[in-house]
Structure 1
Amino acid sequence: MKARFLLSAAVLMLAACRGAQEPAEPSQATTQQAEPSRWDSIMEAVEDAERPEEDRLLDANRHPAEVLDFAGVERGWAVADIVPGNGYYARVLSTAVGDMGRVYAYNPSWVAERFGDADAALSLIADRRANMSHHVGDLEDFGASFDQPLDAVFMVLFYHDTGYDVTDRARMNQAIFDALAPGGVFVVIDHHAIEGSGLDAVETLHRIDASLVVAEVSAAGFVLDSESDMLANPDDPRDISVFAPQIRRNTDRFVYLFRKPQ
């Protein structure tokens, strides 16, 4: 009995010595560099040295990092930017979603025809980025040329324009809804018009009644998930053109996040 006890004690001592001399195998978490957080990815996109200086000068009033964070943008997402203009958001989104993500830069046909030079420039931007493609089509058929469901759709400072062109907004919103994956988001940013004015100011002042936007988008099946005042300006009277010198690039803007139910 005593011999068995001594043998057991020796085995325990040997195991203890071996544990002290041989460190434990490192865990996978300690051997791999941590993945960047969602906010880090967004800030990397905003601080991208390839962004044009004229875009950077707009950041103070447009808050692109906060907008992407509000939308929940993540690496690997498939995102569409409707009427990207000079590519302000398309560039940032392209970097933020990373190599495994996808950005569809989408111009309605009438925009591509009326602003041909800008559309051609957008095509060149897409050609230089492996995860971006350029598309032209009718908003009523939005998503028809995409090869996957979308995680997000951005429409920045354009919804009001659909109020005076030939766009069927009910069909447009339904097409956007159908293009999104369940749980996907539709981010709409535009210039506030006077409450209750409907479409009265869309062509003259380039503004739209926010409550009309909520009603129309919700009618397609979306749920208004959240809204932000990050682009609010209480000093904007809402009854002057967005191009008026005293308010240009500093209008009172609504920021809505609509979600397609799961």
Structure 2
Amino acid sequence: MMKLTHWLAGIAFAATTAGAVQADAIKDAVASDKRTAEYAARDGFRHPAETLEFFQVKPTMTVVEIWPGGGWYTEILSPLLQAEGKLYAAHFPKETEVGYFKRSRENFEKKLADNKDAYEKVVMTEFAPGQDLEIAPAGTADAVLTFRNVHNWMRGDNEAAAFKTFYKALKPGGVLGVVEHRAKPDTSREDMMSSGYMTQDYVVDLATKAGFVLEEASEVNANPKDTAVHPKGVWTLPPRLALGDEDKEKYQSIGESDRMTLRFRKPKS
């Protein structure tokens, strides 16, 4: 009995130590002085360290970041994974007629080229829901992460296709991490499309239909000040502030949107 007790204690200690190492690595990446100051200033709303810990991201993982935009999370994920892991940045397609997509991708490519030491192991791929594009070789990713993107795919009626792509890229047992603006329960599809806020039940249903299992939901990115009802939807709030100076102080006092943070798992069998 004593040997069993010692064995169990050893397992618990090892797990605790591994968790501490993971948390320290994430915190070091978040605290890096190489991050864009403007991005780091938003940590109080986006809680990157707590979010990545919740998604169980480890320095040894192969991670796919979906639509990284200007690289807000890339600035954290790249140094975190650089030594032992791998980061796929699944950006907008190179061949696109959408001006915003084209500019965003070009700016991201320039960011990587101008900081080769920081991003030398970032592999750029392409993602467009509904198109047959490979975000990573099938069954190779330990984690797929998407931050505030699902509402965009709904506008093109491609949100279900997106989750199927994520499922294909992940290993059995892999994690899908989703952060999304959160609408009040029973919000209509029409209102979700116009506001940029989505109900948590809808996002869970999307993932479940794609084959995922909801493992846990976190309130780490919740904002109780946000009513989710604004003149120009979620874009009324920072950082966009779509109304300009109109009621600017009011919306700044609310801060960034109320967000769901969901961890899904691809079943092992």
TM-score, structure 2 normalization: 0.77
CA contact (8 A) 1:41 1:75 kept: yes
Q: Equivalent of 1:89, from 70, 73, 88?
A: 73
Q: Equivalent of 1:133, from 108, 111, 123?
A: 123
Residue of structure 2 equivalent to 1:255: 261
Deviations 1:202-243 (A, max 9, x none): 342211121111101111110000111111122211222223
Matches of residues 192-207 of structure 1 in structure 2 within 5 Å? 192-207=182-197
Distance 2:97 2:72 in 1: 17
What is the letter of the counterpart of residue 242 of structure 1?
A: V
Distance 2:97 2:129 in 1: 11
Report deviation, 1:137.
3.8
Distance 1:41 1:151, change over 3 A: same
Residue of structure 2 equivalent to 1:242: 234
Aligned residues between the structures: 228
CA contact (8 A) 1:143 1:176 kept: no
Aligned-residue identity in percent:
26
Distance 1:112 1:136 in 2: 14
Residue of structure 2 equivalent to 1:122: 108
Q: Equivalent of 2:31, from 37, 47, 50?
A: 47
Residue of structure 2 equivalent to 1:212: 202
Distance 1:38 1:111, change over 3 A: farther
Residue of structure 2 equivalent to 1:159: 150
Q: Secondary structure at the match of 2:215?
A: strand
Deviates more, 1:251-260 or 1:125-134: 125-134
CA contact (8 A) 2:129 2:153 kept: no
CA contact (8 A) 2:135 2:169 kept: no
CA contact (8 A) 2:192 2:198 kept: yes
Q: Secondary structure at the match of 1:88?
A: coil
Unaligned runs of 5+ in 1: 1-33
Distance 2:133 2:54 in 1: 23
CA contact (8 A) 1:108 1:139 kept: no
Report deviation, 1:144.
1.9
Structure whose alpha-carbon radius of gyration is higher: 1
Distance 1:243 1:169, change over 3 A: closer
Residue of structure 1 equivalent to 2:9: none
Residue of structure 1 equivalent to 2:43: 59
* Correspondence 1:106 to 2:90: yes
TM-score, structure 1 normalization: 0.79
Distance 1:142 1:43 in 2: 36
Deviates more, 1:68-77 or 1:121-130: 121-130
What is the letter of the counterpart of residue 163 of structure 1?
A: M
Deviations 1:64-87 (A, max 9, x none): 000110011111211111111110
RMSD of equivalent CA atoms: 2.3
What is the letter of the counterpart of residue 144 of structure 2?
A: V
Deviates more, 1:192-201 or 1:212-221: 192-201
CA contact (8 A) 2:60 2:85 kept: yes
Q: Secondary structure at the match of 1:73?
A: coil
Q: Secondary structure at the match of 2:54?
A: helix
What is the letter of the counterpart of residue 154 of structure 2?
A: G
CA contact (8 A) 1:194 1:239 kept: no
What is the letter of the counterpart of residue 221 of structure 1?
A: G
